Each structure stands twice: as C-alpha cells, then as structure tokens.
Structure 1
C-alpha cells in the first residue's frame, strides 16, 4: 500500500488532467456510489449509511464491494484515502467519534 499511496500522491498533481484521470486504475463512480464513498470517508458504518441513504444494509455492502472493484482497493480506509485524494472531502468534514 505504501508504494501505491506514494505513487498516487505523485500522480494526483499532474497538470492539465482531472484528478480521476491522474489515477489511472480508478473508474468513475455512480452518484449513489459516490454518496456511499463519502460517508465511508467520514467514518460512517454500514448501518449508519443504510439509515442515512434509506437503503438496506445489504445494498450498502454491495455498493462498497462495487467501489472496491472499481477503484482496485481492499479496504474502507483505502476508499477514504481515494475520496480525499480526489478532492471530494477535506479533513474537517470527518466525523469526530
């Protein structure tokens, strides 16, 4: 992961490219997938995402799997890192526990 994170940090600032284009392995998310990714990055658990978006916990799990596949990541932490690198979230938006 460290090598991938370093590589991502270096490519994220490529001039003239969108942030998504600068991360060659990442595929765009649907609007619903983006909502889920943002809530994951903010520290929400599946049950909380389910309640916030009025969808089943099973559906949340399916969406999380789809996000992981599209972005070639293995964990919720990596989803959060991607959300941050894409500029969708700043640190002061993360929930305090």
Structure 2
C-alpha cells in the first residue's frame, strides 16, 4: 500500500452560505466530496445532493455536501475540514 503525504489546511465552512470561501484546498475538497456524492447521498431535506462544480469556491452547496459526508463518516458534523475529515475524505473508507 502506498502512502501519500499531503499538507491540507483546515477549512471552516460554518458560514459558507453567507460568505464564499476560496482557495486551492477548496478545489481538492470539492473533488473528494464529489467521489462521495456519486453514491447518491441526500441532504438534510431528503433531496439528492448534486455534484459540486470544481471552482475552488465553497458556498452553501459545498457546505451541504460536507455535512452529509461528515454524517456518513461518523465524524463531528461541524462544517470544519480538519485533519480527521481530510483523512476520511482521502481514504473514503467508512
């Protein structure tokens, strides 16, 4: 098994629906969340979550996808992408 070392910053999306957050790590986050979303996960209202546009800008859709991921991965549902959430996103094994 090959291990890859990456240095990804903590991303706080708690207020993403009010103020978009941009950066290179956001694009990586969106790509990893899209891998998760291909399983057909749904948002809190029960509707399917559409794949994210890889635009390196996180808003309400990215936050919704992250919260669904954190729930499925049995992580704290806090809209913060820290080391544990990054690891779960990269592994996609939960």
Note whether the superposition's TM-score is higher than 0.5: no
- More helix by percentage: 1
Which protein shows a greater Rg? 1
State TM-score, norm by structure 2: 0.33
State TM-score, norm by structure 1: 0.32
Q: Which gives a bigger RCO, structure 1 or 2 (Cα 8 Å, sep 6+)?
A: 2
